[in-house]
A = this chain, B = another copy of it.
Amino acid sequence: MKKEIPLDKAYRLLNPGCVVLVTAAYQGRRNVMTLAWQTPLSSRPPLVGIAVAVSHFTHELIAASGEFALNIPGPNLLTAVQRCGKISGRDRDKFEETGLTPVQARKVGVPLIAECLGHLECRVVESYKTGDHTFFVGEALAAGAEEGLFSDHWEEKAEIIHHLGGNWYFVSGRRETG
């Protein structure tokens, strides 16, 4: 069960620069895409940005629907994260391919991924062409995370995936404070 997060704190889900699974849907078609090129953009209003390659199926779905969701996977989902980054969803359903479970979102018509640690439901408010990608700016309409992950001390518990390049990832480990 997910805990609701105040929207002006929603950026903290993305703050460590983690890999996300982007979900998108339009007219009965849906997709899951692995994405590392994301950043928070604003606390009030709560805005986030994702850079999506123009050729991707997910690009087509987001451009058509004006919505997307960001789902934050834990290290137990690494196999699905890699699989969703390697195959295209144009000709197969990645939920079925990976066994990830779609669940209904609260504010957008895009499935969330039940197994993920946190979610951001976004409506596209701007999109900019940036070289070989489009940068979609999304306003967070709802956000939630596992209770244990996003407490006042969620920093103690966050264990999330980062992409180094190619097949290499690391998982948040040693923690430091000054």
User: Chain A interface (Cβ within 8 Å of chain B)?
Assistant: 11-12, 15-18, 36-47, 49, 51, 75, 78-79, 82, 126, 128, 130-133, 135, 137, 154-155, 158, 161-178
Q: A17-B18, A78-B178, A172-B173 are in contact. List 12 more A-B contacts (CB 8 A).
A: A17-B36, A39-B51, A40-B51, A49-B49, A128-B137, A130-B137, A155-B166, A155-B168, A161-B176, A162-B162, A169-B176, A170-B176
Contacts of A82 on B, CB cut-off 8 Å? 178
A82's nearest neighbour on chain B, judged by CB, is B178
Residues of B within 8 A of A43 (CB): 131-132
> Is the beta-carbon distance between A41 and B135 smaller than 8 angstroms?
yes
Whether the Cβ atoms of B167 and A178 lie closer than 8 Å is yes
Nearest 9 pairs of A and B residues by beta carbon: A17-B17, A173-B173, A42-B131, A155-B168, A155-B164, A41-B130, A39-B39, A82-B178, A16-B162
